[in-house]
Chain A
Amino acid sequence: MRLTMKHLFWLKVAIHSIAILPVAYLILLILSDQAGGDPVQFIIHYTGIGALNTLIVLLAISPIARKFKQGVLIQTRRVVGLYVFAYASLHIFAFISLDLLFEWSLLIEEVLKRPYILVGALAYIILFALSITSFKVIRRKMGKRWQQLHNLVYLVAILVPIHFYWSVKSEVIEPSIYILVTSSLLLIRLPLYKFYQTILANKFKSKSTS
């Protein structure tokens, strides 16, 4: 089935629901005292993973749209991207409010002392820039530079898993899997990879026709 613009509305409804549901669930967990012995750490981790998972969905949209010839999916990238930003904002707000308790001097100290926070902060600044320039009017005004700026999402996809990997004490399995997944999503975009793919496809074609 080919998705059309008619489906776009429902597609977006589904995206909003799926994206908001985990936040509602988190609130439920906190209110019912189910967010672990230390809810602060739980919330920071939960929202961070939320941002990372959403980022992976975002990076998967274009390859899926191309592979299955579902051009309409491309239209959902903005809303998914904004949810990456939303989860990242919750993550950082939880860190500043619940962990640092708004001690700004501590924030500066922590950012400088903890390289993984610096990496995360850099990724957040990029996400912020991408979000505020995601409006159509601005996009038009920016012309070619818009795409150049928005290609920085690939840098975010490199920085964020590093931020996660670097932050854990020793339990590296989960962050390693994220690094693997995001790097594969980046690798399949490389021109070299696409080049090999077309060669293989052509070979297969010529064999089957001969």
Chain B
Amino acid sequence: MHFKKRPSWDTLKSSDITPESVFNDRRNIIKALGLGAVGASIPGQVQAGIFDLFGENKPSVPFITSPLAFTVNTGFEVNEAKTPFEKVIRHNNFYEFGTDKSDPAENAQDFKVDPWTLVIDGEVDHPITLGLDDLTKMMALEERTYRLRCVEAWSMVIPWVGFPLASLLKKAGLTSKAKYVAFETLFDPEQMPGQKSRLMGGGIHYPYVEGLTIAEAMNDLSFLAVGLYGKSLPPQNGAPIRLVVPWKYGFKSIKSLVRIRVMDKRPPTSWNQLAPQEYGFYANVNPDVDHPRWSQASERRIGEGGLFSAKRIKTLPFNGYEEQVSGLYQGLNLTKNF
């Protein structure tokens, strides 16, 4: 019998082949091994070169946003310099796309918002299902400039385009059992790398969920944004539709909404689930109630100008919206209900 000798290069066993899932996940694996820190100290071009060896193709085309038709609501203007667009779209907490502030801008550009479905259901008279076009066409759009205060003690001033949450809820019609409103972000691990593994996404149990009391949701300040700086939302800022509740810490303003469910009891909320002693259900901006690990008395405003034009300002109760919302919390101990 004649045996063909294996050529010297044919020594790979099938078990030697890297499974496809591992291959596709190599960047996260490298990160998990702590090599992210090594990578961080390598110049960008060199780093790009290293990852090019693996055939990593970075999105070269940024997500396409489009101009929106809207009126400016002069009732919601902020007498402070706006945070420049470039900073608003490059400094984001959106753990679905990575936990670094620069990760969402880097990893979200291929995000698909078409088709999109937003469902409004639960304790409503007429459940509503909205498609992508409905989000910008069903309601009259307006621009409102709001302060945004992150729980990490930095802040921005952003001109949003959208419509009041209350007008959408009124359209659906609330039943007598409507006590709370629950919000849910898209769950799509294929598009959102942070959802693939609990550790990559900062330990959050996805999909990201948030909630408001019905009184908070019906307050005129509660806003559903579909754009910023006059154009539709970039994915890192929560495309195609997100909540903006400016008197609460930023993590309440949930992004990329697929569901708004009116409920008769308080819904779970993501950061509260993760660390209840640090993040409450209300999460109202409050300079007198510190985070257990840092002070909330002041904030660094991310504004115009370069590195040396940073400003530190005093944090205001309810982020400066006390007049509009303090009535919602009468008789409530805000230190206990943080």
A positions within 8 Å CB-CB of B? 22, 25, 30, 34-43, 46, 49-50, 53, 98-101, 103, 106, 109-110, 113-116, 166-167, 169-174, 177-178, 181
Task: Kindly state whether residue B109 has any CB partner on chain A within 8 Å.
Answer: no
- How many B residues have CB within 8 A of the partner chain? 47
Q: Is there an interface contact between B101 and A178, defined as CB atoms closer than 8 Å?
A: no
Please report the C-alpha to C-alpha distance between residue A113 and residue B86 in the assembled complex, in whole angstroms.
33
B32 contact set on A, CB distance < 8 A: 173
Partner pick for A49 among B40, B202, B204, CB 8 A cutoff: B40
Q: Find B37's partner among A35, A53, A110 (CB 8 Å cutoff).
A: A53
Chain A residues lying within 8 Å of B87, measured Cβ to Cβ, are 37-38
In the complex, the answer to whether B307 meets A36 with C-beta atoms within 8 Å is: no
Determine if A113 and B290 form an interchain contact, defined as CB atoms under 8 angstroms apart: yes
The answer to the question of B107 belonging to the interface, with a C-beta cut-off of 8 Å to chain A, is no
Please give, as numbers and ranges, the residues of chain B lying within 8 Å of A43 by CB-CB distance: 307
Residues B40 and A37 in contact, CB atoms below 8 Å apart: no
The reply to whether B307 and A39 form a contact with Cβ atoms under 8 Å apart is yes
Instruction: Give the shortest distance, in Å, between B44 (CB) and chain A (any CB).
Output: 7
Q: How many contacts between A and B, using CB within 8 angstroms?
A: 101
Knowing that A42-B101, A101-B310 touch, tell me 15 more A-B residue pairs with CB under 8 angstroms. Answer: A30-B307, A37-B86, A37-B302, A38-B87, A38-B154, A38-B302, A41-B91, A50-B41, A99-B312, A101-B312, A103-B312, A109-B297, A110-B294, A110-B295, A172-B203
Mask, B34-47, CB within 8 Å of A = 1, is 10111011011000
B298 adjacent to chain A (CB < 8 Å): yes
A36–B101 CB distance below 8 A: yes
**Contact A178 to B307, CB < 8 A, known contacts A38-B101, A101-B312, A170-B202:** no
Q: In the complex where A113-B295, A170-B203, A177-B34 touch, is A25 in contact with B302 (Cβ < 8 A)?
A: no
* Contact residues, B17-36 vs A (CB, 8 A): 31-34, 36
When C-beta atoms are compared, the residue in chain A nearest to B28 turns out to be: A173
A37 touches B102 (CB 8 A): yes
Check: B272 CB closer than 8 A to any chain A CB.
no
B288-320: CB near A (< 8 Å → 1, else 0) gives: 001001110110101000111011100000000
Q: Which A residues are in CB contact (< 8 Å) with B90?
A: 36-37
Q: How far is the CB of B293 from chain A (nearest CB, A)?
A: 6
How far apart sit A169 and B89, CA to CA, in the bound complex (Å)? 21
- Nearest Cβ distance between residue A29 and chain B, in whole angstroms? 8
Are the CB atoms of B34 and A174 closer together than 8 Å?
A: yes
Q: Which residues of B contact A172 (CB under 8 A)?
A: 199, 203
B99 lies within 8 A of A166 (CB): no
- B134 an interface residue at 8 Å Cβ cutoff? no
Residue of A nearest to B292 (CB): A115
With beta carbons under 8 angstroms apart, the residue of A40, A113, A177, A178 that contacts B300 is A40
Measured CB to CB, the nearest residue on chain A to B91 is A37
How many angstroms from the CA of A172 to the CA of B295 in the assembled complex? Answer: 21
- Of the A-B pairs whose beta carbons lie under 8 Å apart in the complex, a sample of 21, sorted by A's number, is A25-B41, A36-B101, A37-B90, A37-B92, A37-B101, A39-B306, A40-B300, A42-B102, A49-B37, A49-B40, A98-B310, A100-B312, A101-B310, A101-B312, A109-B295, A167-B293, A170-B99, A170-B202, A170-B275, A171-B95, A174-B36
